Every structure is written in C-alpha cells, then in structure tokens.
Amino acid sequence: MMVPVTFRIILFLYLINLPSKECNVLLPKRDADLIVKTCARTDSPDLCISALRKDPRSSSADVKGLAQIMLELSLAKAKDILKHIHQLNDGTRDPILKRYYGTCIEEYEATVINDLPEAMSELNAKDYPSSRTNADYAAETAVECENFFHGPPETRKSPLTKENNAMHDLATIAASIIHILG
C-alpha cells in the first residue's frame, strides 16, 4: 500500500519542526552508546559518563574526541586547583604548609604548562602512547600533591584532598580513553 504524497509531506514537516529533545527519541542512540561503551572501559565509568554528557560536543564525538574532551576537562580542573593552591599559600603563615603548597604549585604548574597540553598535542598527532603517558603524569601530580601533606617533616590535613582526587580521576579517565585508541 502506497502512502499518499500529502501524508509524507505533512509527516516530514512535522518531524523537522519537533524540538530537538523529542527528536532524539527518533534518532539512533549511537552517540550515547559510544559514551557508555567508552566509559565502561575506564576505572570510573559513572564519573566518565557524567563528565562527558555535560559537554555538548561529546554527543557527536568519536573516541578520540571523547579523549580530547576529557583532557580539556582535566586541564580546566588543574588550572582551578592551581589557582586555589595559590590562594591557600597566600593566606597562610605556617612554614610547613607554605612548603607543601609551594611543592604542589610546582607540580600543578608542570601539569598545566607541560603534561596536559603535550597530551593534547600528542593525541592530535596520533602519538597515543605519549599522550597516555602525559595524562598519567597529570594524574600522578594529584597523588604527589596529596602525599606531601602526609610526609616529613610534619603531617598536615590536606585542604586539597577532594580536588586532588577529582583531578586524579579525570586524568586517569583521559588516559584510559586514550589507551582505547592504541
């Protein structure tokens, strides 16, 4: 049975005028599935999915694009943490905390200036092993910063634990996604 031309035109006009939210129901779930499948291969799939879904570019990204987005999120987090550490450093007179903050500042500056920008550049050049290594360095920065507060000369409660953990997780997710590429 043939569908009349008039009906097809009306259906077409109706579909192109649907709001994008309703239209998503009619489209294949490939993009959402790619995010879920990719994130399932990381150590923190829920955080990965949540972070990527917040970025509108992820809905049309391939795996390399998802890695790029996660590296950018890691860099933004590292910059925020670095700014916070500078504020904490400026607000204390405790020489031990100043020493710990100073070391964390050095670590995070290396991550912001070198590790993550290099990881992005290497990702774009398809040098996936080097990109992954630099993402791992960024994750290690957070661990090292946190460890400074637990070592000699004195132990101090780290005011950066939550931020360091978030940074570690984002950079580790980025490294895991890059690993998928090769």
The 10s digit of each residue's pLDDT in 134-180 is 999 999 999 999 999 987 878 899 999 999 999 999 999 999 999 99
Please enumerate in sequence order all residues whose Cβ is within 8 A of that of 175, keeping only pairs 6 or more positions apart, or say none.
132, 135, 136, 139
Whether residue 140 is contained in a domain is answered as: yes
CATH number, domain with residue 81: 1.20.140.40
Whether residue 115 is contained in a domain is answered as: yes
* Domain count across the chain: 1
Q: What is the pLDDT of residues 83-117, one digit of tens each?
A: 999 999 999 999 999 999 999 999 999 999 999 99
* Burial of 101 per CB tally in 10 Å (0-12, 13-18, 19+): buried
Give the torsion through C-alpha atoms of 176, 43, 29, 119, to 10 deg.
Answer: -20
Q: Residue 42 carries which side chain, given as an amino acid letter?
A: T
Q: What pLDDT, on the 0 to 100 scale, is given for residue 60?
A: 94
